Amino acid sequence: MSHVARLVADGKGSTESMKAELYSVLLTEVGVPSSELDKAVPICVELAKGEMLWRESTESTAPALERLKQHGLILGVVSNSDGRIEHAFELAGLRNYFDFFIDSFIVGVEKPDPRIFEFALERARVSREETAYVGDLYHIDVVAARKAGITPVIYDPYDLNPAADCLRVRHLDDLLTVLTPESCETVLPSHQ
């Protein structure tokens, strides 16, 4: 497993410390000497504040979201972000598939604190029992969803969590086989 994959799979620490550690790993893997990391990491963190670094999706994402909407699911995003998550989805061309966005910066609570889901449940107007949360970080997303009483689903396209003790999908299309309007009215995909 690469350093990046291990960091993502471990999911330890706050969002800000995870970003700094992620940039440390990425910069090292692209050849930045360790002696320069103390200067380079803060520069990357600052650039990330001004630029939307995570704004592209795979070509299968929009069709999968469209199929989920056609099945009558309410889709929302719950994200540990910096106040710009809705704009990031707009840049990626995915904004219109979602009914609402909950951004940790705006609401003042971030995962794994389960209180962030109270905002989502209120916006979706559904009960916990009718809601699933799809996230890609076990220690943040699955843990938070469980604490909130919401069904966790781990999105695991790189097979980093094969022994996860929750529903697991490798492709967004797989959500249609594990979630239906009869079993779940709201799907809250994560964006980290």
Phi and psi at residue 162, to the nearest 5°: -65, -25
Q: Tell whether 79 and 121 lie within a shared domain.
A: yes
Same domain, 72 and 167: yes
Query: 3-class DSSP state for residue 115?
Result: coil
**Contacts for 185 with CB less than 8 Å, ≥ 6 apart:** 72, 73, 74, 124, 126, 130, 131
**Token pair 């781990």 is at which residue?**
154
23 and 77 share a domain?
no
Work out the percent of the chain whose per-residue pLDDT is above 90.
42
Are 14 and 95 in the same domain? no
H or E element: which one contains 38? helix 37-50
- Name the pLDDT band for 192 (thresholds 50, 70, 90): very low
- For a pLDDT cut of 70, what percent of the chain falls above it? 80
pTM of the model: 0.71
**Residue 7 above 90 pLDDT?**
no
Q: Is residue 69 part of a domain?
A: yes
Q: What is the pLDDT of residues 41-82, one digit of tens each?
A: 888 877 766 665 555 677 889 999 999 999 888 999 999 888
The pLDDT tens digits of the residues spanning 129-149 come to 989 999 988 888 999 999 999
* pLDDT over 90 (residue 173): no
Report the pLDDT value the prediction gives residue 189, as an integer from 0 to 100: 54
Residue after which a domain boundary falls, among 27, 50, 73 = 50
- Residues 77, 161, single domain; the answer is yes
How much is the average pLDDT of 164-188?
A: 76
| Residue 78: Cβ-neighbour burial (10 angstroms; 0-12, 13-18, 19+) | buried
Looking at the structure, do residues 41 and 65 belong to the same domain, yes or no?
no
CATH of the domain at 97: 3.40.50.1000
Beta strands in the chain (DSSP E): 74-79, 100-103, 131-135, 151-155, 167-169, 186-191
Residue 171, domain extent: 61-191
Distances (CA, A) of 10 to 51, 59, 110, 141, 145: 26, 28, 17, 12, 17
What is the number of alpha carbons within 13 Å of residue 54 lying toward its C-beta?
Answer: 13
DSSP state of 138: I
Contact 179, 126 (CB under 8 A): no
Question: For residue 12, what pLDDT is reported?
Answer: 45
Residue range 138-165: mean pLDDT, rounded: 92
Residue 55 lies in a domain: no
Q: What is the pLDDT of residues 28-43, one digit of tens each?
A: 878 888 898 888 888 8
Residue 179 resides in a domain: yes
